Amino acid sequence: MDQAPPEYTQNTRRRRGTSADGGNGAMNGVPTIGRQPPHSVEAEEYLLSCCLLDGSDSIAKCLEKKLPVAAFYVAANRVIYEKLVELYQKAPPVAIEVLAEELKTTGQLEEIGGVAYLMQVSARIPTTAQTDYFLEKVRELHMLRQLIQVGTSTVEQCFGFQGGLEEFVDKIEQEIFEVTQDRVSDGAKTMKETAKDAWVVIDKMMHHKGEITGISSGFKELDSMTYGFQKAEMIVLAARPSMGKTSLALNMAESAVLPRRGEPAGVLLFSLEMSAAQLGMRMLCSRGRVNMKKLREGFVRPGGDEYKDLVTAADELSKSPLFIDDSSHLTIMELRAKSRRLAARQKLGFIIVDYLQLLSPTDPKTPREQQVAEISRGLKALAKELDVPVLVLSQLNRAAEKENRAPKLSDLRESGSIEQDADVVLMLARPKDADEKFQVAADSAELIVAKQRNGPVGDLKLTFLRDITRFENHTP
């Protein structure tokens, strides 16, 4: 980051116009105990000076970094920045004469101190070389003010707290996350950087011929088509209810945390339908190859072979890096926050969401299609942010059943955005030669690779072991 000029200081008392706290030591009604909130008039004026100097690039940087109008503590500076952005979006570059005329037209020119103040700000710095420095400084101080606001509000809420503690803590975490979520901007990479990243993948392919490059699904035919679930990809596994989506996802999770070859990958599984205990029982019976019905009916006796198999499975799974979150009500923002927190303390290689339609909307008033689209975009963003594959279970509509055909992409329920956002779409269906009474527990199923952004599509068969709810590679 560039160094600040020698005359730069922080938290100066000199202000023009009304500050963001109204000049009374409060921000948005929250008292700051008589102290000045963090701010720097100089940093704001230097940044505006850069924007006025070039009229284009510096403003574009502010927009790329998502710098809001509220980031400026001084009221006059907020007015200038807001008008600069408005004019830039209409017809860049923005000339200071045009800015002054527009402010005059809206009656804001005198409010900020007239042309004299505009000229004063524009002359604050002779070059735009330090735009990035002052942009980051203004962002940081704004974020500190927001955190003070959230923190002070939290203290007040704690004194008057009533209700469930877990929900309250989640709410506070969400408020802090909303403050900090935009602090990092990926920006554009040079072709040199992009080529270097691509060459790492190419080199791995050349030196590991035929080997998968992502997280193994545990199924040979599927891995041969996808080369594993790749980083930053969103994979959708769709099916009608009771077709075995969860069982297949659990088998894939098991393959990731207990691989036959290579290092285990940390897996975070969000289950919005079943409890962690229910999933745990399924995984133990599947891994130990024990009939769950017999176990429930009490026919598995302590000390017997099946009991020993369960103990072995429990020992293996308990040592694996598998994490299950069975929160029944989650928004996409909460899910992303939980994923980020776990990724900060545990290396994650794979995330599974069971299932998309059960995630709560951020705004229940919006149309359902928009809600699902927002969730789908959020899951894709999560895959890119944490650089891990995200397997998303989803429901299919009834069209394939009604028309007695194999499912297709248009059957994805409630939103076309799922198809658009997904890198890979898998569809679990009954075999084409099955009779009308077929159910998933009939020993075999068909997995359709309906979409793959970077590879082939096609159908493959899986063997389903009904008694232990386990999918395996198909054996003719």
- Phi, psi of 396, deg, nearest 5: -100, 155
- Phi, psi of 116, deg, nearest 5: -60, -40
DSSP-assigned letter for residue 181? T
User: Mapping DSSP to helix (H, G, I), strand (E, B) and coil, where does residue 447 land?
Assistant: strand
DSSP-assigned letter for residue 84? H
Query: Of 430, 471, 444, 463, whose CA–CA distance to 286 is shortest?
Result: 471
What would the two tokens of residue 147 be?
Answer: 């955190």
What would the two tokens of residue 285 be?
Answer: 């019976």
User: Mapping DSSP to helix (H, G, I), strand (E, B) and coil, where does residue 450 land?
Assistant: strand
What would the two tokens of residue 88 be?
Answer: 């830039």
In whole angstroms, what is the distance from residue 220 CA to residue 230 CA?
16
Query: Of 476, 205, 252, 467, whose CA–CA distance to 350 is shortest?
Result: 252
Residues annotated as catalytic (active site), given as ranges: 273
What would the two tokens of residue 410 be?
Answer: 């248009």
Neighbours of 96 (CB within 10 A): 16
In whole angstroms, what is the distance from residue 194 CA to residue 441 CA?
46
Name the β-bridge partners of 461: 446
In whole angstroms, what is the distance from residue 222 CA to residue 456 CA?
11
In 297-367, alpha helices (H): 305-318, 332-345
- Residue 241 backbone zone (phi > 0: left; psi -120 to 50: alpha; other: beta): beta
Could you please report the per-residue DSSP string of 131-143? Answer: HHHHHHHHHHHHH
Side-chain-side CA neighbours of 345 within 13 Å: the count stands at 4
In whole angstroms, what is the distance from residue 229 CA to residue 350 CA?
9
In whole angstroms, what is the distance from residue 448 CA to residue 434 CA?
15
- Kindly tell me the sign of the dihedral angle through the C-alpha atoms of 34, 35, 39, 45: positive
Tokens 């190859």 locate to 289
Query: Of 115, 80, 111, whose CA–CA distance to 97 is shortest?
Result: 115
Q: Are 251 and 218 spatial neighbours (Cβ–Cβ below 8 Å)?
A: yes
Tokens 């900020």 locate to 112
Q: Are 377 and 294 spatial neighbours (Cβ–Cβ below 8 Å)?
A: no
